Amino acid sequence: MIVRNICSRSNEMSAHHRAKSPLTISEMCSKIEGDAARQDRFGPLLDLALRVRHQEQRQRGPKVYSWHAPEVECIGRGKARTPYEFGCKVSIATPATAPKGGQFVLHAKALHGNPYDGHTLGPVITDLEKLTGVAVRRIHGDKGYRGHNYPDRFRVWISGQVRRVTKVIRREMRRRAAVEPVIGHLKDDHRMRRNYLKGRDGDRINAVLAAAGYNFSLLLRWFEELLRVL
């Protein structure tokens, strides 16, 4: 089993919104004062505007990076070209073997709160086993999963690991990179790179739909070959 966390990107809050926020907040407060209906309608927007106005660059805790998607998080990628991305993490699990039908996505889940990759392994594998009804024998992940919280640590192999590596496991560890083209297809062909659904529920739905669309594309390819033979 190969697991990997990726990031679904979104746009960053522009400096123009921050510069205009004091005037907007003052105008909103004056127009909704004393009107209960307007306060119920525009109260959440006013709270969001206050968060944008008073947040600082290096503050700890959640910040607002997008006005229309305040749930967006800043995720450090550790890459020179793209050190940061804005969106939410998505966990992807694929088979560690080479299936004849293709590299199907076995599990896809949006992970909010910018969790550490290693701390997502236990819940993801539990959901995967419940979904498929099959116990996972071996788990392969990249170096972001060091210090994971999976109970049976002898089932988990991290890329670059030397101890307890047999020929079979070494062959599977080389197959770990097979998840990378799957992630590329999910992002470019099935709309995981940019999510058009609103809110955190939209993030969860988009991750599942992207994985389902990718799996259906593999099934359609099989049906084409079957009809060609018939």
pLDDT, tens digit (0-9, with 9 covering 90-100), for 150-189: 888 888 888 888 777 888 888 888 888 888 899 999 999 9
User: Is the predicted pLDDT of residue 9 greater than 60, yes or no?
Assistant: no
User: Is the predicted pLDDT of residue 8 greater than 60, yes or no?
Assistant: no
pLDDT, tens digit (0-9, with 9 covering 90-100), for 182-215: 999 999 999 898 888 988 999 999 999 999 999 9
For residue 10, what pLDDT is reported? Answer: 44
For residues 129-145, average pLDDT: 88
- With CA atoms as reference, report the closest residue to 142 among 106, 184, 81, 93: 93
Using pLDDT thresholds of 50, 70 and 90, give the confidence band for residue 12.
very low
pLDDT, tens digit (0-9, with 9 covering 90-100), for 64-105: 888 888 888 888 877 788 888 888 899 999 988 888 888 899
Hey, what are 211's tokens? Answer: 């994985």
For residue 46, what pLDDT is reported? Answer: 83
For residues 22-36, average pLDDT: 76
User: Is the predicted pLDDT of residue 140 greater than 60, yes or no?
Assistant: yes
For residue 19, what pLDDT is reported? Answer: 60
- CA separation for the pair 20, 23 (Å, rounded): 6
For residues 35-40, average pLDDT: 82
pLDDT, tens digit (0-9, with 9 covering 90-100), for 109-124: 999 988 888 889 989 9
pTM of the model: 0.78
Name the least confident of 76-80, 124-128, 221-225.
76-80
Amino acid at 226: L
For residues 37-60, average pLDDT: 82
For residue 13, what pLDDT is reported? Answer: 47
User: Is the predicted pLDDT of residue 14 greater than 70, yes or no?
Assistant: no
